[in-house]
Amino acid sequence: MFVLKHRLGDGAVSVVQRLVPSKSRLARLRSASIVLGFALLSAGCRYAVLDPSGPIAAKEKQLILISTGLMLLVVVPVIILTLVFAFWYRASNTRANARPDWAHSNAIEVVVWTVPLLIVITLGWLAWTTTHALDPYRPIEENGKKTLEIDVVALDWKWLFIYPEQNIASVNEVAFPVDTPVHFKITSDTVMNSFFIPGLAGQIYAMAGMRTELSLVANKPGTFGGLSANYSGAGFSGMRFNALATSDADFEAWTRKVAASGHPLDETAYGELAKKQENSPVVYYAPGNAGLLQSLIDKYRHTPPPEHTGSPMNASAAK
């Protein structure tokens, strides 16, 4: 710098210093670039839960937003006041009134206890009312259209959909008409999974030997992604399916296409389907197997518990 200053003079050196960015300026630019990058990535994401296409999902979105807003009533003021206090009571601020002996304020006690208490009461009331209003076992009122019944079986690592009335079945693809109530009866022929169509309804577990239920309605046509929201092994990430909300005519065309597949879902076909397979393709079966769901539930319910392989417990030692 001494040589540069000697050759260029003080004025030229000051110009060079202004042109060369400082380390602090580079650090700020780097931080701003990272924040901007995350913002751009987030802007390109589509959050299906916040873009509902049915009344059930719309009510769940409303519940999420209300609950988040109520909690932010505490979070946002705390963050703001933390920054304000840190700035006002900094060491260099001589105007700040230091009160080292201060210990209690009735007004502050009222605020810090009353506001959270009211929020907890409100959240509890919301949780109670919406839990009953959005009960997945609660049937949806028919709007002039008959409820479509679909059986769902979770396998490794695929979803089997059975249409008892249409006598067809499909793998990793389910279709239903728009504005038609749909009632799913769900079980598993493997470990526990979670049946979830984020844009249409909440998730519900699929468990061996048990039957869970879920009702939904799609308000507009489209293809909605479905998935398992519960880890179930190596092929879990590929355990996805498409939910097709179509017009009545398109649904009839889809059922005819499946019925023309010519692959019956008999015992042999199901045995092959039940084998572990990752990223399974869409497969159609006709005729389907209307009694398969109940037979799978009965299979696990009637299975006796495994025999005890250890030594018998001493009754006196167990006391």
What are the per-10-residue average pLDDT scores of the chain (319 residues)? Answer: 47 48 61 60 57 79 88 90 90 83 87 89 89 82 83 94 94 94 93 91 90 91 91 88 94 94 88 91 91 89 56 40
134 in Cβ contact with 56 (< 8 Å): yes
Can you tell me which residue has the tokens 């960015």? 21
Per domain, the residue ranges of the chain are: 2-43, 48-89+111-133, 148-301
Question: Which spans in the chain are helix H?
Answer: 2-8, 10-19, 23-43, 55-88, 106-133, 248-259, 267-273, 292-301, 315-318
HSE-up (13 A, CA, CB side) for residue 267: 1
3-state secondary structure of 159: strand
Distance CA 196, CA 256 (A): 26
Which sign, positive or negative, has the C-alpha torsion 261, 245, 47, 77? negative
237 in Cβ contact with 209 (< 8 Å): no
Domain 148-301 has CATH 2.60.40.420: yes
Contact partners, residue 175, CB within 8 Å, separation at least 6: 243, 244, 245, 246, 251, 254, 255
Distance CA 130, CA 109 (A): 32
pLDDT value at residue 304:
57
Distance CA 241, CA 228 (A): 9
pLDDT value at residue 15:
45
pLDDT value at residue 93:
87
pLDDT value at residue 139:
81
CA nearest neighbour of 13 among 22, 4, 21: 4
For residue 303, the 8-state DSSP code is S
CA nearest neighbour of 147 among 241, 213, 194: 213
pLDDT value at residue 205:
93
Distance CA 230, CA 41 (A): 26
